[in-house]
């Protein structure tokens, strides 16, 4: 009789250790809380995946706008270079407009890249917490550092563009007031044969604009701009196809797989719970 307090018996007369009964009762008692917690985590992971896809889709649209603006900027820049020997005023206006659109495209592109990258890193960090795994803090730090570098680079680029636009605006004013200087600039662009004094005057008035470029420099400029224009068009086509296919991301798919893993665990626990419940009711 001494060991009877340490054992319990079910209705079929099978011996069951008291510890096993306590574990079973503890599992049945904790299961509702665990089930609710897992369901909440699964819903949050899927919500994160949907958010990542939505942000990526919005960023893809923004990239399309940036690439389109970049393409227009390239076209205007090429026209500005091509028309420089023909019409100085129009060339300068086209060049300044092209610079402005190029800067706008750069700002949009970099901002879009930063928004998507930070959102993805943040979603992965939250997913790590939901999956009870260690969060890679280094990845978060790298994301912030990369964003800072991009912003600094963009700031420097925008300052250069503003200086270039300012030069074109000043050149337009000077060209209107000094037709002879424009004529000298056209001779420099056409043949490169002008006096040293006239060359210095042209460079002082129009330096940094299409009116101070030789024929070879303009051809090089057209070729270089053409390459960037081609890259913008290729990116535009790729982004359009990607958007047409739904603009899904690997990161979002990974989050959904994690949610599926938790759902599989929940199904296993639910199955065990049902078995134990059935055993108690028999």
Q: How does DSSP classify residue 209? A: S
Burial call 106-132: b when 16+ CB within 10 Å, e when fewer? bbbbbbbbbbbbbbbbebbbbbeebee
How do the pLDDT tens digits run along the chain, 282 residues long? Answer: 444 444 544 444 444 567 777 778 888 888 899 899 999 999 999 999 999 999 999 988 998 999 899 999 999 989 988 888 888 888 888 888 988 898 888 888 888 888 888 888 888 888 888 886 555 556 556 655 666 666 667 677 777 888 888 888 888 888 888 888 888 888 777 766 777 887 788 888 888 888 888 788 888 888 998 998 898 888 888 888 888 777 788 888 888 998 999 999 999 989 988 888 776 655
252-274: buried (b, 16+ CB within 10 Å) or exposed (e) per residue? bebbbebbeebbeebeebeeebe
Bridge partners, 7 (sequence order): 17
Q: What is the pLDDT of residues 20-51, one digit of tens each?
A: 777 788 888 888 998 999 999 999 999 999 99
Continuous segment of H or E residues that includes residue 128: helix 88-130
* Residue 63 contacts residue 112 (beta carbons within 8 Å): yes
pTM over 0.75: no
Domain boundaries, the chain: 38-164+216-269
* CA 104 from centroid of its chain's CA atoms: 16
* pLDDT per residue as tens digits for the range 100-134: 898 888 888 888 888 888 888 888 888 888 886 55
Q: How does DSSP assign 56-124, residue by residue? A: HHHHHHHHHHHHHHHHHHHHHHHHHHHHTTT-HHHHHHHHHHHHHHHHHHHHHHHHHHHHHHHHHHHHH
């Amino acid at each position: 009789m001494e060991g009877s307090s340490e054992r319990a018996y079910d209705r079929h007369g099978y011996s069951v250790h008291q510890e096993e009964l306590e574990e079973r009762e503890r599992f049945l008692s904790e299961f509702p809380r665990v089930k609710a917690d897992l369901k909440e985590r699964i819903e949050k992971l899927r919500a994160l995946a949907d958010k990542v896809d939505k942000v990526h889709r919005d960023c893809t649209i923004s990239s399309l706008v940036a690439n389109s603006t970049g393409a227009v900027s390239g076209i205007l820049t090429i026209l500005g270079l091509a028309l420089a020997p023909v019409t100085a005023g129009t060339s300068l206006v086209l060049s300044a407009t092209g610079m402005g659109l190029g800067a706008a495209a750069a700002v949009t592109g970099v901002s879009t890249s930063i928004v998507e990258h930070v959102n993805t890193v943040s979603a992965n960090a939250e997913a790590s917490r939901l999956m009870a795994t260690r969060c890679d803090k280094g990845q978060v730090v790298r994301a912030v550092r990369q964003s800072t570098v991009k912003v600094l680079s963009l700031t420097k680029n925008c300052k250069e563009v503003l200086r270039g636009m300012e030069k074109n605006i000043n050149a337009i004013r000077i060209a209107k007031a000094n037709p002879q200087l424009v004529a000298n600039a056209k001779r420099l662009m056409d043949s490169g044969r002008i006096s040293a004094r006239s060359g210095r005057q042209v460079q002082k008035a129009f330096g940094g604009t299409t009116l101070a470029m030789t024929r070879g420099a303009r051809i090089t400029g057209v070729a270089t701009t053409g390459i960037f224009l081609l890259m913008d068009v290729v990116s535009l086509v790729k982004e359009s196809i990607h958007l047409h296919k739904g603009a899904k991301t690997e990161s979002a798919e990974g989050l959904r797989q994690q949610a599926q893993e938790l759902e599989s665990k929940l199904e296993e626990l639910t199955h065990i719970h049902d078995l134990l419940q059935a055993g108690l009711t028999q």
